[in-house]
Structure 1
Amino acid sequence: MYRIMIVEDDDKIAGILQAYILKYGYEVIRAKKYRELKEEFIANNPDLVMLDINLPYFDGFYWCRQIRTVSTVPIIFISARTGEMDQVLAIENGGDDYITKPFHLDLVMAKIKSVLRRAYGEYAIQDANRDVIDVNGLKLYITKNQLEWNGKRTDLSKNECLLIENLMVKAGEIVSREHLLEALWDDIHFVDDNTLTVNVARVRKKLEELGICKAALETIRGQGYRLNHVWGETDV
């Protein structure tokens, strides 16, 4: 289930958007703290933001720039401003799309679905330098420290995220313990070797929570670990 955050100070418009989006099975959050939108964004961790331009205290362009300092989450501007320069500013400040008011709700939903597909779904471009890594349907959202498979998500610690990221970008290959130690810690001389084993065990547990079998993350004795990218049901 994707979580959508609506940043719109017109209560009527925000309510209409919320009610319509909820019908499609998405989770919806409405912003409340217009002085602290960045903190509210971080606390709610949405998958997409619907952002008005005319807001109390600071405008939507400002808040879009603030969000971009911590996330690459899709942002769709919704505004009564119809000028081309406003739309240009929205894109230049980090927005992904722009919808003018008054808007047709079907168009809003089509835009939401399209942006979500580009960001997380079938049209997403996957590589190690992007926010999302996808290996046979197992998705890692790097900036959110979240792992998703088969419609389920689980939160990861920073080290768990780094560990699974390094295994996913080399799925099917053996990744040495030395490589993983260097990826997770700046100075491996002060890290107990058992610490890596503990983190691997935690990642296995997170995979099991998603319904992926233990054998998916394989220990290669004397060498390292391998993520086998054919998933199965939890072997319990």
Structure 2
Amino acid sequence: MVDIFIIEDDKALSREISLTLSKWSYNVEEVKDLENITKEVLEVNPKLILMDINLPCYDGFYWCSQIRNFLKVPIIFISSRDSDMDIIMSINIGGDDYIKKPFSPQVLVAKVQAILRRTYSYNSDLKSDVLRCNDVVLNILESKIYYSDENIELTKNELKILHILMERQDTIVKRDEIIEELWESEEFISENTLTVNINRLRKKLDSIGLIDFIITKKGQGYIV
């Protein structure tokens, strides 16, 4: 897993930051496509993001709001802008800290360490609020599934089914296992009840272009 993802259009500065943090044994990656930042963040799934405000196409505030639709990953803004309004805006939009350029390597490392410690030291046992399967994103807190530019709301059972399958993607999940997790008991639950729920879910997924996302393995179960 990537520890820190750098979103900075100044390549020299980005490289300098990367080298500094790598010396502290952090796994660091730099953004490649500044026009598709949200997609890269979802692919990289970092523990922390360092985000410049002045970026081409859209500014860091825009990208922060987009990322917040999917992830709670901590974001530290780095910018030469230091007005009170910029700092307030960065906090209101979902940023966790603000570093003014130019900054010393020591300050950068100290802030990164503090954010990571505060965010993860007491939450190491918590499961992720987001599951991904290629370009499909399941937001558990929102009960929504995202694909391409589309998203749909899910019922409680639909969310549970997708959660079970996506958490174990590329693995066949038996029908009785899904029934047991879904209703917390195998008693009085017919096979047809699960079939009805799966079929309804498939229709929803079809509506946003996710054809055959859930595959039936005859006599075995389901797989995504």
When residues 91 and 182 of structure 1 are mapped into structure 2, their CA distance, relative to the original with a 3 A threshold, is: farther
In the superposition, the TM-score normalised over structure 2's length comes to 0.61
Query: After superposition, what is the alpha-carbon deviation per residue over 1:63-120, rounded to whole angstroms, capped at 9, x for unaligned?
Result: 0000000100010000001111101000111101000001011111111111111211
Matches for 1:86-125 after TM superposition, within 5 Å: 86-121=86-121, 124=122
Which AA in structure 1 matches 2:109? M
Q: Determine helix, strand or coil for the equivalent of 2:130.
A: helix
CA contact (8 A) 1:45 1:144 kept: no
Which residue matches 2:37? 37
Q: Which residue of 2 aligns with 1:213?
A: none
Percent same amino acid at aligned positions?
A: 36
Give 2:26's aligned amino acid: Y
Provide the rounded CA distance (Å) in 1 between the counterparts of 2:131 and 2:193: 29
Q: How many residues align?
A: 157
Could you say which residue in structure 2 is the equivalent of 1:159?
A: 164
Displacement of 1:178: 6.4
Specify every segment of 5 or more residues in structure 1 that has no aligned partner in the other structure, as ranges.
Answer: 127-131, 146-156, 164-176, 200-236
Deviation of 1:158 after TM superposition, in Å, equals 3.5
Q: Counterpart of 1:143 in structure 2: which amino acid?
A: V
The RMSD of aligned alpha carbons is: 3.1
Matching residue of 1:181: 182
Distance 1:143 1:188, change over 3 A: farther
- Which residue in 2 is equivalent to 1:190? 194
CA distance in 2, matches of 1:181, 1:142: 18
The equivalent position to 1:141 in structure 2, one of 104, 128, 149, is 128
**Map of 2:24 onto structure 1:** 24
Distance 1:180 1:10, change over 3 A: same
Q: Assess, with a 3 A threshold, how the Cα gap between structure 1 residues 162 and 11 changes in structure 2: closer, same or farther.
A: closer
Structure 2 unaligned segments of length 5 or more: list them. Answer: 133-161, 169-177, 185-190, 196-216
Taking structure 1 as the reference length, the TM-score comes to 0.58
Aligned equivalents of 1:86, 1:74: Cα separation in 2: 18
Partners in 2 of 1:93 and 1:190 — Cα distance? 41
